[in-house]
Amino acid sequence: MEEIDSMKEEEIVLKGQAEVYKYMFAFADSMAIKCAVELRIADIIYSHGHKMITLSQIATNIDSSSSPHTNYLQRIMTFLVRRKIFTAATSPGGETLYGLTPISRWLLHDTKLSVAPMFLLENSPILMAPWHYFSSCVKEGGIAFKKAHGCEIFEMASKDEELNKNFNNGMNSVTRNIMKEIIKRYKDGFNSITSLVDVGGGTGVAMSEIVKAYPHIKGVNFDLPHVVSIAQKYEGVHHVGGDMFQDIPPTDAVFLKWIMHDWGDEDCVKILKNCRKVIPEETGKIIIVDAVLKSEGEGLFDDMGFILDLVMIAHSSGGKERSEDEWNKLLNEAGFPRYNIIDIPAWLSIIEAYPQ
């Protein structure tokens, strides 16, 4: 009996060791995938008519000023096959053939499903650096991004054209996918609106999708001047530069997608009160699209809310993800005593709130 107990204990210890090593090198997964996205490996396979292709065919199509190092490429592909990012099979001639999986299809560039720009953004040196300051934030407080770079993320983006471009491209890639579900799940909510302001709407992708589906809506995309200055024109969408902490254009309803989580409670109340000022008292509403944390949730995307909460420590100025109780408290303080939560098949939910 003691021998069995000893074996079980040894097994538990070994399992713990394996888990620790897995987390120690967890960055290897994202860095290997980032490499594949940068080299456009999924696109190369896709361009061959979705057929499985050899390593040499992949290497030949990599955009490089010199011959790609096939040994490195082979080792990275072997790892990504193990992670089910790509598939592998042996040809009749004995060569390994690589193909796409449901995961790698999301890493294609310039497709409707693509989240490649967001993957590159989140794993860029600029956005990764603040993660190394978590322990400093715990000990001293402060903002991780500012500790890493000397300024906050939106300040840097206003001065750094490349970061601003990459940030907007990343957000747009995620927005296109999320908006499909929002429009599908919230059609009755949009039907009753004649004018809508997307606060913090970036370059206008979300509003363009709403107006396309509901052309009766007069759409305003509202964001900081340096953001809307690079926005393309969309039919039915008017771009307006401004500051949501100062004034928001008058409207029937306000749309806030992935905005509130960037800010602490005090700032969120300011934004929400500014929204309340510009919507009709009896018929107005705000539409928040953000995570609603479920501590016991075991859904497909429930983990994402808690991951994004750490992203907020890394990249925001005091932002966080919130539970329903926290949303309830925030909305009540800002003058929105009535709300309704609509789940969508993603890590976000629709929270519609009313001033009475």
Q: How far is residue 214's CA from residue 187's CA, in Å, rounded to a whole number? A: 9
Half-sphere exposure of 200 (CA within 13 A, CB side): 22
End-to-end Cα separation, the chain, in angstroms: 67
Closest to 292 measured CA to CA, from 210, 352, 337, 244: 352
| Neighbour-count burial of 196, counting CB atoms closer than 10 A to its CB (0-12 exposed, 13-18 middle, 19+ buried) | buried
Active site residue 149: no
Place of tokens 């992708």: 205
Q: How far is residue 305's CA from residue 238's CA, in Å, rounded to a whole number? A: 32
Instruction: Name residue 352's beta-bridge partners.
Output: 287, 340
Return the amino acid letter for 83.
Answer: R
**Active-site option among 69, 109, 261, 315:** 261
Q: Answer yes or no: are the C-beta atoms of 263 and 316 closer than 8 Å.
A: yes
Q: Answer yes or no: are the C-beta atoms of 317 and 332 closer than 8 Å.
A: no
Return the amino acid letter for 97.
Answer: L
Q: Which residues are catalytic?
A: 261
